Amino acid sequence: MATFVLVHGMYAGGWYWQKVRPLLQAANHDVFTPTLTGLGERVHLARPDTDLDAHIEDIVNVLVYEDLRNVVLVGHSYGGMVIRGVAEREPERLARLAYLDGFVPDDGDRVLDYRHPAFQPDCVERAGAHDGWRIPTLDAADEDPEFVAWEAGRTVPHPLATFQQPIRLSNHDADRLPSVYIHCTNKPDGDAFARFASVARNDANWTYIAFDCVHDAMAVKPVELTRLLLTLV
């Protein structure tokens, strides 16, 4: 039996894994799907100073207070920033890092440094037009209607400070953790994560997995994604 901790991405919450969680549990694994501060059912806790460190602390506290060990820590999209920060703090609790179409930061990186037209218009300008400190959700009109209906009313604006804060990395024990990159390759409008996938694909220290799916794999292909995650145990 393994322990999975699944970290969601921008705008979402622990609910984003609700199609995958029971499938992993049915395979007799422990599964935790925490929600980051200011998102999902914790949206009421959002503040202008909710930053990347706060989200890293969210997941560190799950590991510590649940006393989790030998964890497969999965980060989707923005969640890649979070899981790398968690590895910096608690590498001894982790068995593996898995980036699901996620950012893989170097020391000093900010999400705002990863500019790509497929990922975002200008987040600072969008936040300024909203309330000054949260990035409003994007229009999903061009997405699959079933997917749009599934997430309707549950995605929320994302705290801008989490994108502005540089991550600080210096723990070499974290660098030595086995790492996997699951690259969602079906993105006809552009791939904001191709740069990270390319590094993983060409680095013998990484395991690279190409997955024929759109970015939000846990919602669109939960069965297939679960099969991939089970290979990491």
Report the alpha-carbon distance of residue 71 to residue 96 in Å, rounded. Answer: 7
Report the alpha-carbon distance of residue 84 to residue 124 in Å, rounded. Answer: 24
Asked if residue 61 lies in contact with residue 77, where contact means CB atoms within 8 angstroms, the answer is no
Is there a catalytic annotation at residue 170?
A: no
Out of 77, 170, 179, 198, pick the active-site residue: 77
Q: Which residue, 65, 60, 81, 66, is CA-closest to 158?
A: 81
Report the alpha-carbon distance of residue 161 to residue 134 in Å, rounded. Answer: 8
Asked if residue 168 lies in contact with residue 146, where contact means CB atoms within 8 angstroms, the answer is no
Report the alpha-carbon distance of residue 118 to residue 88 in Å, rounded. Answer: 29
Residues facing residue 208 across a β-bridge: 181
User: Where in the sequence numbering do the catalytic residues fall?
Assistant: 77
